[in-house]
Structure 1
């Protein structure tokens, strides 16, 4: 067995997502399992190079995990020929420029979404990566989680018959920051810094809908700011200039209709923070990130509307749990493994910068739909 060291520049690991999901639960988890076995006698050993603006914060993380390499100089790291891959989990407004520099330096790139603040920039990244011949991927983590993997199995098996509709509910209450600390950084609520729930979540909904049910062909959305005043990390009040809730209707290729509510100003009364209900001619299912319950046409009861009589049925008990999903190591880690196999074993990989651009496009058109108060078509993208 040959061990091959893969040096990965990881920019933005001092943030919650970059640190927890990508560094600890993905790259370091691969090291904990002894590396990634490619199946040909080679084991990839990821070696993170931690990038960011605060050297002290980076060194604290490196010391906590026994890592050796930190830097605040992006250009110096990109100039290092021993660095193969650049990963970006920075604030959205900083991402496009950094990923561009990485591609121009000849690095393979793997990045969080949205890949850019607008469609023009997102397509420019995809074209540049194609022209420079580097491998590229965009994080699309939710389709690698157990609940949606179970849902995908039902779709592929024809369980639903013709899919009629998809209804999604996402969100939770993000504290304003005055009485209790907010669970999200303050930049998420400033449009000038690339914040807003539409630019954050519509890229997720694009790939979930695209992968499971078909391409989004139109969007009609209402984006709003329910909580106009919040408090930042220093306890100072600020005006929330970005949307914190969005209510969207998406038409899909093939005729199905998806309705998805996204909100950081909603209290949770469901089993998971995000759930999707799929209804088809032959069956229905409700999936979260981990669980999935289904009801086939043959098992569907005959409810009768009678508002004067208490319900005599427990409707949740009429659904069956879809098996599987035990021992799942995490959606982020699963996609990291696929991307590394793509780079070093030439394995197929379709979640690239063009797929990321589709997410940016949907967010951009969703905001346009909200501003103009109308349904907007979503053209198919090509490079």
Structure 2
């Protein structure tokens, strides 16, 4: 048995998502299980160093998780050949500049999304990584949720027949910060700091829709800033300049219609914070983060509209749960293991920086649709490269 030690520079993991999902529930969990076991009997063991701007936070986080290395000097870490991977979960406005440095240093890249604050910058990162020959990946965590894995199982089995429509509901009430502390950081509501639910969530909806139902061809989106003022972490009132809700309609191949409501100003009356209902000619399904229930055409009841009597149906009881049929690990951890195998064994990893750019593309189109009040088609993405003679070649990546 051989041990493949992979050094990982983890930048920005003092934030909530970085700490809980990427550090504790992924990298620390992989180390505690003895690494990633390969079919040959070899093991991949991640060796992290925590990087950030706050020395006391880094030290406390490292010590509480049994990690011996941390640093406030990113450049020094990038110069160290013992670290092969650079991971970034900083705020969006800080991400691209440090990914550029890491690519220039020859590090493999794994990062959160959005990968940048504009499509142009996201495509630039994808091109830089391609030209430098470094492996790269973008977190697509919702694909690994148990509920969505069950939904994908139904799609692949042909359960739905012809898919007609998809309805997605996401969100919850985020407190304004006056009489109750807000559960999201204040920068989420400032456009100048990279905030906004379209920029945040459309990156997710792009890979969810593309991977489950097919490529998005056209978009109509209405954004809103429902809560005009909030209180920040220091108790100061500030104006919300970014959207806190988005109401999107996406058209796919075969005229499949996908409606997605995303809001941080909605109170939840559904099974989960995210629900996805798929209706097809042969059956329907509703998936949440972990569960998924179905109703086949032969089991579909026949309700009749009659407002003059009490509703005789208990609709929620007319669905059947899809069984687990497997053990589900933490989705962030599963994708981390796949990326580590990609780096060490060169196994396929389809969720690269170009896929991340597609998420940024959808966010920009959504914002444009909102501003211009119209449908906008989604073109294939291209990386423009300059040949030795100066002529421009275009590589279509889809």
| Partner Cα separation in structure 1 for residue 382 and residue 298 of structure 2 | 42
CA shift for structure 1 position 291:
0.4
| Partner Cα separation in structure 1 for residue 292 and residue 333 of structure 2 | 21
| Partner Cα separation in structure 2 for residue 228 and residue 13 of structure 1 | 30
| Partner Cα separation in structure 1 for residue 166 and residue 132 of structure 2 | 39
| Partner Cα separation in structure 2 for residue 347 and residue 361 of structure 1 | 27
CA shift for structure 1 position 45:
1.1
Query: Which residue does the alignment assign to 2:39?
Result: 39
Unaligned runs of 5+ in 1: none
Q: Map residues 1-383 of structure 1 onto 2, 5 A cutoff.
A: 1-324=1-324, 327-383=327-383
Q: Deviation digits for residues 288-347 of structure 1, max 9, x if unmatched?
A: 110000011111111111111111111111111011166322111111111111111111
| Partner Cα separation in structure 2 for residue 306 and residue 380 of structure 1 | 48
Unaligned runs of 5+ in 2: 384-398
Q: Deviation digits for residues 18-69 of structure 1, max 9, x if unmatched?
A: 1101000000010111111122232111111101110111001011112111
| Partner Cα separation in structure 2 for residue 143 and residue 352 of structure 1 | 14
Match of 2:49, SS state, is strand
Match of 2:382, SS state, is coil
| Partner Cα separation in structure 2 for residue 81 and residue 254 of structure 1 | 50
CA shift for structure 1 position 253:
2.2
CA shift for structure 1 position 100:
1.1
| Partner Cα separation in structure 1 for residue 382 and residue 168 of structure 2 | 28
| Partner Cα separation in structure 1 for residue 348 and residue 77 of structure 2 | 28
Is the CA contact 1:214–1:254 (under 8 Å) kept in the aligned structure 2?
A: no
Match of 1:226, SS state, is coil
| Partner Cα separation in structure 1 for residue 381 and residue 364 of structure 2 | 14
| Partner Cα separation in structure 2 for residue 270 and residue 278 of structure 1 | 15
Q: Deviation digits for residues 93-150 of structure 1, max 9, x if unmatched?
A: 0001111111111000000000010100001111111111111000000011100000
| Partner Cα separation in structure 2 for residue 369 and residue 267 of structure 1 | 26
Q: 1:325 to 1:230 in 2, by over 3 A?
A: farther
Q: Which runs of 4+ in 1 moved over 6 A?
A: none
Match of 1:307, SS state, is coil
Q: CA RMSD in A?
A: 0.9
CA shift for structure 1 position 254:
2.8
| Partner Cα separation in structure 1 for residue 140 and residue 306 of structure 2 | 44
Query: Which residue does the alignment assign to 2:393?
Result: none
Is the CA contact 1:162–1:281 (under 8 Å) kept in the aligned structure 2?
A: yes
| TM-score, with length taken from structure 2 | 0.95
Q: 1:148 to 1:238 in 2, by over 3 A?
A: same
Is the CA contact 1:77–1:83 (under 8 Å) kept in the aligned structure 2?
A: yes
| Partner Cα separation in structure 1 for residue 98 and residue 193 of structure 2 | 16
